[in-house]
């Protein structure tokens, strides 16, 4: 076992700490630093913050959701605890399957904080443990899901797959996996198989998926709104309008390059580690990696999964539109950061 395993449970202001020392010193992973206490402190800080900014509320409460996502998207304890690149997804229904064999989606920290983890509500109850099989710490957070928000508040229609939507609606725990060498969160998962009930009761709903990842609502607005930085960036951010038009150009180039054959939520290839590019917010989080991959001629893939270099003119157009979008994303984020200082 890894030195000491710490479990913590916090409800409200109460904090209980129990330490279990390993009985067999020969089993200690000597190559790993002992960040047990640091992970414990981080878990306590994140759990308390989530309880304060994303507390239990009605699953349809838009104002509560807005407060939560703005808080997490900004300079939050959660954001500071996230690794530069993370994985996210359902816990495998087969508990014997390791994380490395579980299909997960790759995200940048601001995307997972502002678009995904904010969709949950947290009671503040949590526990930590070291999972020997995964060689990672695990923070379990008691949670509930905001299933009654309007469709445009989800980063894509989670109900495109009934089984996935069913798990989301029944969620009672969010799992955060922590790298023991860095004390940073590297994987997030949601599950309906945690202990206890969801933090709030909800009415189950079953929307119909029409095959569209983005759509126009009755007022002529593009949806999902959350993927257009709505509510994440300030309304007076001078780069918002240009971000929208620049992404539209990039989206056309990505379509020409067949990016939407793979990088969409239903994972048509399928890929063990999915990368999403189908909305402005998702593309903003991955634009640097996209450009690097295109420059290296590592995409798109053919039907057999082999790398297929782009036509030179198409490659040039994709790189140009991608670079313009990347520059604007940085400018918009820098503007936001300056207003927080």
Which residues of the chain fall below pLDDT 70?
1-34, 231, 268, 300-307, 341
Among 102, 212, 208, residue whose Cα is nearest residue 162? 208
* Element (DSSP H or E) covering residue 333: helix 312-340
204 vs 207: CA distance, rounded Å: 10
The whole-number pLDDT of residue 196 equals: 92
Among 271, 274, 263, 269, residue whose Cα is nearest residue 105? 274
- Is residue 68 within 8 Å of residue 334, measured between CB atoms? no
Q: Helices 62-73 and 36-53 meet at what angle, rounded to 10?
A: 150
The whole-number pLDDT of residue 5 equals: 35
The whole-number pLDDT of residue 269 equals: 73
pTM of the model: 0.83
The whole-number pLDDT of residue 16 equals: 29
The whole-number pLDDT of residue 178 equals: 97
200 vs 231: CA distance, rounded Å: 24
The whole-number pLDDT of residue 6 equals: 37
- Is residue 173 within 8 Å of residue 90, measured between CB atoms? no
- The residues pairing with 145 across neighbouring beta strands, listed in sequence order, are 120
The whole-number pLDDT of residue 265 equals: 86
161 vs 194: CA distance, rounded Å: 22
7 vs 117: CA distance, rounded Å: 22
């Amino acid at each position: 076992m890894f030195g000491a395993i710490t479990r913590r449970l916090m409800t409200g202001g109460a904090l209980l700490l129990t330490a279990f020392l390993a009985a067999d010193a020969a089993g200690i992973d000597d190559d790993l630093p002992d960040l047990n206490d640091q992970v414990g402190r981080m878990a306590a800080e994140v759990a308390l913050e989530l309880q304060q900014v994303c507390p239990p509320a009605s699953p349809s409460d838009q104002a509560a959701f807005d407060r939560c996502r703005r808080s997490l998207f900004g300079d939050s304890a959660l954001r500071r605890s996230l690794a530069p690149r993370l994985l996210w997804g359902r816990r495998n229904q087969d508990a014997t399957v390791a994380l490395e064999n579980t299909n997960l989606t790759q995200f940048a920290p601001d995307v997972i904080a502002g678009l995904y983890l904010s969709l949950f509500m947290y009671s503040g109850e949590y526990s930590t443990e070291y999972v020997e099989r995964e060689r990672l710490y695990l923070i379990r957070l008691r949670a509930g899901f905001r299933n009654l928000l309007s469709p445009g508040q989800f980063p894509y229609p989670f109900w495109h797959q009934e089984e996935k939507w069913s798990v989301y609606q029944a969620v009672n725990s969010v799992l955060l996996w922590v790298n023991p060498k860095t004390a940073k969160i590297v994987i997030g998962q949601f599950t309906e198989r945690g202990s206890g009930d969801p933090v709030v009761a909800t009415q189950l709903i079953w929307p119909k998926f029409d095959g569209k990842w983005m759509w126009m609502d009755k007022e002529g607005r593009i949806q999902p709104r959350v993927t257009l930085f709505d509510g994440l960036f300030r309304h007076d951010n001078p780069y918002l309008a240009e971000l929208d038009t620049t992404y539209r150009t990039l989206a056309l180039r990505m379509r020409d390059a067949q990016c939407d054959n793979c990088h969409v939520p239903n994972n048509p290839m399928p890929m063990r580690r999915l990368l999403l590019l189908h909305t402005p917010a998702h593309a903003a989080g991955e634009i640097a990696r996209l450009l690097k991959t295109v420059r290296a001629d590592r995409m798109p893939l053919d039907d057999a999964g082999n790398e297929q270099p782009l036509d030179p003119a198409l490659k040039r157009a994709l790189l140009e539109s991608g670079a313009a979008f990347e520059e604007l994303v940085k400018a918009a984020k820098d503007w936001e950061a300056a207003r927080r200082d």
